[in-house]
Chain A
Amino acid sequence: METILKTNRRDFLKLAVTTSGGLMLGFSWSNASAMEVIDHATFAADVNFNSYLSISPEDVITIFSPNPELGQNIKTSFPMIVAEELDADWAKVKVVQAALDTKKYERQLTGGSGAIPHSWERLRKAGATARQMLIEAAAKRWNVSATSLSAENGMVVDKSANRSLTYGELATEAALIPVPTEVKLKDKKDFKIIGKPIKNVENDGLFTGKPLFGLDFYREGMLHAMIQRPVSFGTKIKSIDSTAAKAMPGIVDVVQFKNNVAVVGKSTWQIIKARKVLKIEYEVDSVIESSSDHDKLFKDLLESKEATVRRKDGDVDSAFKNAAKVIVREYQCPFLPHNPMEPMNFFAHVKADGVELVGPCQLPDNSRNDVAKLLGIAPEKITLSLRDWVVASAEG
């Protein structure tokens, strides 16, 4: 579960072929109905595919989850959808977080409650296609009609002859079956996984302290940095005195960028301490954003002619008039920081020939492009591996 793909696609495919064989499916995102099966012969071809489903001869079903996990459990729900249509044995499904890959994936981001609606049909077709190919492989082996067979719980079953084969046993043969142009999706009433309480695939790691989050990523010899930001929007740095901070043990440098000051050092505690002795003077350069600002903004909007009614159900006036009891309450929400519990973080290794990024983010493609712009290098020179990000609860 905690595997981060660091190999490039071609390396990974080669690895998959040489060590496991079996069935691998890639999905073209540009057209949900056009599915590419990546068999041994076409592994090396530069096919524009999206997500992988692989079934190894050892009966391990691997589903790559491309979208960032923000704590909304998409790393569980995406694979559930694939596994449902595949009729997989959920206990044998292994989920792997995919790294950022704009060639393979489309809309590799999580936000706006859009990930499932965007991928729903694609994921179902992915599972259904693999299922059909496995059934056809079994039909071929038993020399019977595919329509006489069914799939359940990770096996193709021939009820009339009382025999069955596991997906693992069929995987390599299924990889050689032509991809069906049409697949049948299940009737929702037959769902066995979707709509059922399925436990978070990360549970074991979360409850035993495995390194799943951005801050848990360590690399031998890496430095740590912490940023001092202004205490409010509307102020800017007037002066910095970092002499004392720089003289503290383990501190490598103190760097100003934009309106921030970063303390760089050898360990987290050393930079926490050094950040405290930074002397930064701020000056007000515009309105300091506050709760009263926002209250005024909303009040003005409500009173302006620009506010329009977007939804109106029933007759509110008469409902109030005829109500047995009317309760009047006013609710207000202060201006709050949208802070995650895990402090925002990222690992970066800037090398002569490219940049390695590892961390949590909502829009990995944007993050990579921002880094590319900042460093003046091509985005293709940057790799980005995703870690769990824990701000999702703030999205609701």
Chain B
Amino acid sequence: MTTFQLQINGKSHSIDVEADTPLLWVLRDTLGLVGTKYGCGIGQCGACTVHLNGTAVRSCSLPVSAIGTKKVVTIEGLSEKGDHAVQQAWHEVDVAQCGYCQAGQIMTAAALLAKTPKPTQEQIDNAMNGNLCRCGTYHRIREAVVLASNKIK
């Protein structure tokens, strides 16, 4: 066991885990932040996407020892009241079917728009490409990213 000091959703957390523990399991098992989902565990589905210093990363494949002082933001910390432009757009378009992948989709979309507020269709497709949706809501995801982009001034 090793002690790590993590910056998650604007708060500092001191946690005691094995150094190879992926961030996903620190979030879910240790801190109870279960909004970040476990899908494949091998970085293939995107359900576990969080932000690391603003970049979308797969938390299932990121050992806690690699985080250091970088800032982690999860779906729970994306906005205080659940009203981030991407969350609003997801609601307005009613994107989800089962919803399991959507926290990851939202985090990827939010990271894209933070860097590229007015993405082209191609940029949207490229950014969202690694997030799988078993229900196939891709057309609504694309529509919601565009809507969120329009909401961001």
CA distance A321 to B74 in the complex (A): 60
In the complex where A210-B35, A269-B21, A341-B45 touch, is A388 in contact with B98 (Cβ < 8 A)?
yes
Interface residue? A216 (CB, 8 A): yes
Interface residue? B37 (CB, 8 A): yes
User: Which of A7-15, A198-206, A285-293 lies at the interface?
Assistant: A198-206
Looking at A218, A224, A393, which has the most chain B CB atoms within 10 Å of its CB?
A: A393
List residues 209-227 of chain A with CB under 8 A from any CB of chain B.
Answer: 209-213, 215-216, 218, 224
Contact yes or no, A209 B94, CB < 8 A: no
CA distance A13 to B94 in the complex (A): 34
CA distance A206 to B149 in the complex (A): 20
Contact yes or no, B39 A342, CB < 8 A: yes
Q: Which residues of the partner chain A approach B99 to less than 8 Å between Cβ atoms?
A: 71, 200, 202, 206, 212, 388, 390
C-beta contact mask, B52-83 vs A, less than 8 Å → 1, else 0? 00000000000000000000001110100010
Measured between C-beta atoms, what is the minimum distance from B79 to chain A in Å? 8
Chain B binding site: helix, strand, loop or mixed by DSSP? Answer: loop
In the complex where A209-B74, A393-B136 touch, is A199 in contact with B47 (Cβ < 8 A)?
no
Interface residue? A363 (CB, 8 A): no
Interface residue? A278 (CB, 8 A): no
Measured between C-beta atoms, what is the minimum distance from A395 to chain B in Å? 10
Give the interface size bracket for B toward A: 35 or more
Measured between C-beta atoms, what is the minimum distance from A337 to chain B in Å? 12
Residue from the list B82, B91, B135 in contact with A71, Cβ < 8 A = B135
Interface residue? A377 (CB, 8 A): no
List residues 1-43 of chain B with CB under 8 A from any CB of chain A.
Answer: 17-18, 20-22, 25, 28-30, 32-39, 41
A contact residues, total (Cβ < 8 Å): 39
CA distance A215 to B27 in the complex (A): 13
Interface residue? A343 (CB, 8 A): yes
C-beta contact mask, A376-396 vs B, less than 8 Å → 1, else 0? 000000000000101111100
Q: Which residues of the partner chain A approach B138 to less than 8 Å between Cβ atoms?
A: none
In the complex where A197-B94, A200-B96 touch, is A209 in contact with B38 (Cβ < 8 A)?
no
Query: Taking CB as reference atom, which chain B residue is nearest A342?
Result: B100
CA distance A200 to B100 in the complex (A): 13
In the complex where A249-B18, A341-B45, A341-B47 touch, is A206 in contact with B103 (Cβ < 8 A)?
yes
Q: Which residues of the partner chain B approach A394 to less than 8 Å between Cβ atoms?
A: 134
Interface residue? A272 (CB, 8 A): yes
Extra contacts besides A209-B34, A267-B30 (11): CB < 8 Å: A203-B90, A206-B102, A208-B35, A209-B35, A213-B37, A213-B100, A224-B29, A273-B20, A340-B100, A341-B101, A342-B38
Q: What residues make up the interface of B, taking CB atoms closer than 8 Å to A?
A: 17-18, 20-22, 25, 28-30, 32-39, 41, 45, 47, 74-76, 78, 82, 87, 90-91, 94, 96-103, 106, 132, 134-136
Provide 25 A-B residue pairs closer than 8 Å at the C-beta atoms, listed in order of the A residue: A71-B99, A200-B96, A200-B99, A203-B94, A206-B96, A207-B90, A208-B82, A209-B34, A209-B74, A211-B34, A212-B99, A215-B37, A267-B29, A268-B28, A268-B38, A269-B18, A269-B21, A269-B22, A270-B18, A341-B98, A343-B39, A390-B100, A391-B98, A392-B97, A392-B135
